Structure 1
């Protein structure tokens, strides 16, 4: 599968983070838009499979198809740049600044949200024949997800907010593992295999992904979910964003950087006296 060892992987990660900082505004927005749109479609696909088969594992098994497609096409998710770009800053790559990092994050957020919202509107039209009929079982399930993952957390107060944040952390631990894992191979099958595994884990365990939620929650509002835009922002999107940032950077980016890009000197060998 053309395996790339960790030392070389670390260099590829740093190069990728640096490249994203200097990407043009146009290309950053286009790639982020398409990433959000494709991930939203994959989420709709997975929910449809789960509802129609009654088997959540099957939906989770097939959800990674969208993630693999968007990364093979070179599109960008906010969860990925949360991990990659700060490492280029930490490595003091020439011209990489805090302002450049924040610019990249902001543009990718806007693009992801616009893409996910576009897919949400298209799928709402698809589910309701242009809002002329009542939502079907799949659409009703999407609305229920929106309620359970906003008001459901709010019912638990501070404990709910902590749980939401932790689910965001765990999510981007897995998603960023998939992002950097794709660089571990130079073949398409190798990339897909490495990406598929952690994305399956995140989706089946119900972790919180900020870009997936950019599709699910606007969809829920369009399809009659009983929650508000404020509920979505306060009791999901904002804490999820923070959790995704902490999870991807702490458990993936900084770990790989510390041990593979800045490997500590080996301990001296002690040769027993003859």
Structure 2
């Protein structure tokens, strides 16, 4: 690619993978240069958006008449709301931002700037997730479907905190490969509809397969703890939540960073900075 070349389209109006990589580098540099306060605000929004998708998914999960495959597929479809809003409306999500490794690899900014950006965003995502859980408690969403909504939320959180650490870690790697592929394809999008379809299948795949997304888990686990505090029966513990989130965060970081590094290796390492 020549230094003067701009990201371009080659088929069906979509950008080429090489042009997506260049755009991803530029996006990473912009994110790294964003002041902490607006980045934190956008991260809170991302936590809220993911929580809304997770809430939509719980509506599907609380219908006990659906067979397993239908529940997983419809739940994944519903959960797509979160990533779609992030891609279309704009917000900062830690899992998608794992692609930012392209910035330091290309020399656009340093590893310290990457870690600082990640820290601000992941804390903001946690705040947004907990805030969404508190809002649902205030809205008495737990009473939906005769209380089945609350039981579905407790069931999801219990299943997550019952998994071994390494299982969560590897599921989180697989999850964020899919999430970052959705973000990667979203970079090629030319309109809002494209962004929705870029998010749809990867999100349905990771939710349907039961992979682990740390920001979604921040919502599921905090909501379960709040439900238990209000008297809903459950066995979710704070220690189990910390175990799950530590594995999910590290696994998501590993999966997303590996995907970003692979695309940089193929398309970015031999070109000059633009």
Query: Do Structure 1 and Structure 2 share a fold, with TM-score over 0.5?
Result: yes
User: Is 1:228 matched up with 2:218?
Assistant: no
Q: Distance in 2 between matches of 1:100 and 1:261?
A: 20
Contact 2:50–2:81 (Cα < 8 Å) also in 1: no
**Which residue of structure 1 lines up, in the alignment, with residue 93 of structure 2?**
77
Query: Corresponding residue for 1:157?
Result: none
CA shift for structure 1 position 43: 0.2
The 3-state SS of whatever aligns with 2:15 is: coil
Q: In the alignment, is residue 28 of structure 1 matched against residue 39 of structure 2?
A: yes
Distance 1:121 1:11 in 2: 40
RMSD: 2.0
TM-score, normalising length from structure 2?
0.86
**Alignment partner, residue 114 of structure 1:** 127
How much does 1:259 deviate? Answer: 1.0
Asked if 1:64 corresponds to 2:80, the answer is: yes
State the structure with more CA Rg: 1
> 2:177 & 2:265 partners in 1: Cα distance?
16
Go from structure 1 to structure 2 and tell me whether the alpha carbon gap of 1:123 and 1:91 turns closer, same or farther (over 3 Å shift): same
Cα distance, 1:128 vs structure 2 = 5.9
Give, in whole Å, the separation in 2 of the partners of 1:238 and 1:16: 27
What SS class does the counterpart of residue 185 from structure 1 fall into? coil
Aligned to 1:177: 181
Q: Is the 8 A contact 1:169 1:247 kept in 2?
A: yes
Alpha-carbon spacing, 1:10–1:128, altered in 2? closer, same or farther (3 Å): closer
Matched residues in 2 for 1:120 and 1:193: separation? 27
Equivalent-residue separation in structure 2 for 1:30 and 1:2 (angstroms): 33
Q: Secondary structure at the residue paired with 1:73? A: helix
What CA deviation, in whole Å up to 9, does each residue of 1:153-201 have, x standing for no partner? Answer: 2xxxxxx222111100000000011111101122222222122110110
Whether the 8 Å contact between 1:127 and 1:136 is mirrored in structure 2 is no
In the TM superposition, residue 215 of structure 1 has moved relative to its aligned partner by: 0.3
The total of aligned residue pairs comes to: 250
The aligned counterpart of 2:268 is: 261
- 1:125 paired to 2:138: yes
1:83/1:245 contact within 8 Å kept = no
- 1:194 maps to which of 190, 193, 198: 198
Compute the displacement of 1:87 (Å).
1.2
Task: Report the equivalent of 1:99.
Answer: 112
Alignment partner of 1:51 is 2:55: no
User: Are the structure 2 counterparts of residues 259 and 125 from structure 1 closer, same or farther at C-alpha, using a change threshold of 3 Å?
Assistant: same
Unmatched 5+ stretches in structure 2: 1-11, 229-233
Alignment gaps of 5+ in structure 1? 154-159, 265-274
Query: How far apart are the structure 1 equivalents of 2:141 and 2:201?
Result: 34
Any conservation in 2 of the 1:42–1:66 contact (CA below 8 Å)? yes
